[in-house]
Amino acid sequence: MGLLKINKFSLSLRVSTIFVLSLFMVTGFARKTMAADAATEVFNGQTVTSLTSLIASGLLQSDEVLSTNITIDSNSGVVILGNNAGPNDSFTLTESGGNTTQSVNVTTASSANGVIFADDLVVNSTANTNSLTIAATNDNMTFQGNATTSGGGTNLIAIVGGAGSSTLSLTFDTANAENIIINATINAGGADDDITMNVNNSDGGANTLTFSQNIGASFSIDTLNIGASTTATFNGTLKADVINISSTDTTSFNGTVTGAIDFAADGTISVATGVNIAGAITNTTTNQGTLTLVGTTTVSGAVGSTGVGLAAINAGNRYSNFFQCCENHFADDEWHG
């Protein structure tokens, strides 16, 4: 299998891109109304259901140290935590006088009705190590807010789907009509889990979804779906068996990608300099999909499908070198090098 290498990126283009991206991020941040901490204190060993009082005010852990654990059971109905009207965080883990490891187990005793985190996940400590792990075993989870960490301590958030043989979905959605930043690692629970990760802009506005940490580093996601009208950025490494892009907007990869990418719509993939893709990049409709390589990139897989090539491949500036494009490269209209 050959390799595609593109190099020599224009400095002026890079500066312009950084400026525009910074301005866009600041603008997006201004649209976010910061939520108040969650207000309903939970205790170690508690089970939360749709019938639990005050869960719309969000779940709070502020008074326990060491390892604590709660269960969220959707058997009685969909569990909606926090709200965007107040707003109140879905879960807040704050400084509690010592290191705290908080586990949230999402499951169901019988019927799987789903768990919706209707606003932010927040971990804050000034000096200690606080970590929040939300793991689903046999129920779907939807995240409609940010996942953020703050303070001078070591603060971590992890989202895990599956327990070794589970089939479920993790959905990240702009239902609150705002930009979303997920500063959390995301993994399958085990190699035999069948996990689908959906990234959706259901609001339909000019919202963005940014994933700051690694995805699939421990166990890869089976299917990653980028929904229609969705602008998504992945800043960490990404491992998914299949990556389906159904958006006509831009999907940006700023960390190494492992997985087969398919253009199901006429969208754009932007790959940062120094970022490699291990997998094919294909399309199902002729003249559909644009691949933009900002700087030096290795693509170790076929680019474009036989007879139904990509719309365009943009490779840096005119001094970029095209060595060999994997097994094949197909672009019906344009090659910009």
Asked if 328 and 306 touch (Cβ cutoff 8 Å), the reply is yes
Q: What sign for the dihedral angle of Cα 2, 248, 233, 318?
A: positive
| Residues, the chain | 337
Exposure of 26 in the CB half-sphere (CA atoms within 13 A): 5
Task: Kindly report, residue by residue over 295-305, the tens digit of the pLDDT.
Answer: 999 999 999 87
Comparing 55-64, 121-130, 308-317, the range with the smallest average pLDDT is 308-317
Beta strands 4-6 and 297-299: pairing type?
antiparallel
Q: How far is CA 173 from CA 73, 178, 197, 282, 322, in A?
A: 22, 10, 11, 26, 38
Q: How far is CA 94 from CA 26, 53, 101, 258, in A?
A: 26, 21, 11, 35
For position 72, what pLDDT does the model report?
A: 98
**256/66: higher pLDDT:** 256
Task: Kindly report, residue by residue over 111-153, the tens digit of the pLDDT.
Answer: 999 999 999 999 998 889 999 999 999 999 999 999 999 998 8
Tokens in use for 244? 């389906």
Asked if 202 and 174 touch (Cβ cutoff 8 Å), the reply is yes
Rounded distance between C-alpha atoms, residue 46 and residue 57, angstroms? 17
Q: Is the pLDDT of residue 324 over 60?
A: no
Domain boundaries, the chain: 1-32+274-337, 36-255
Contacts of residues 36-43 at CB distance under 8 Å and 24 or more positions apart, as own/partner, are 36/86, 36/87, 36/88, 36/89, 37/88, 37/89, 37/92, 37/94, 37/122, 38/81, 38/82, 38/88, 38/89, 38/90, 38/91, 38/92, 38/122, 39/88, 42/70, 43/68, 43/70
Task: Kindly report, residue by residue over 93-103, the tens digit of the pLDDT.
Answer: 997 788 999 99
Task: Kindly report, residue by residue over 214-235, the tens digit of the pLDDT.
Answer: 999 999 999 999 999 999 999 9
Tokens in use for 17? 């891109």
Which residues are CB-contacts of 143 (< 8 A; sequence separation ≥ 6)? 117, 121, 159, 170, 171, 172, 173, 180, 182
Give the pLDDT band (50/70/90) at residue 315.
Answer: confident
Asked if 121 and 96 touch (Cβ cutoff 8 Å), the reply is no
Tokens in use for 75? 């058997």
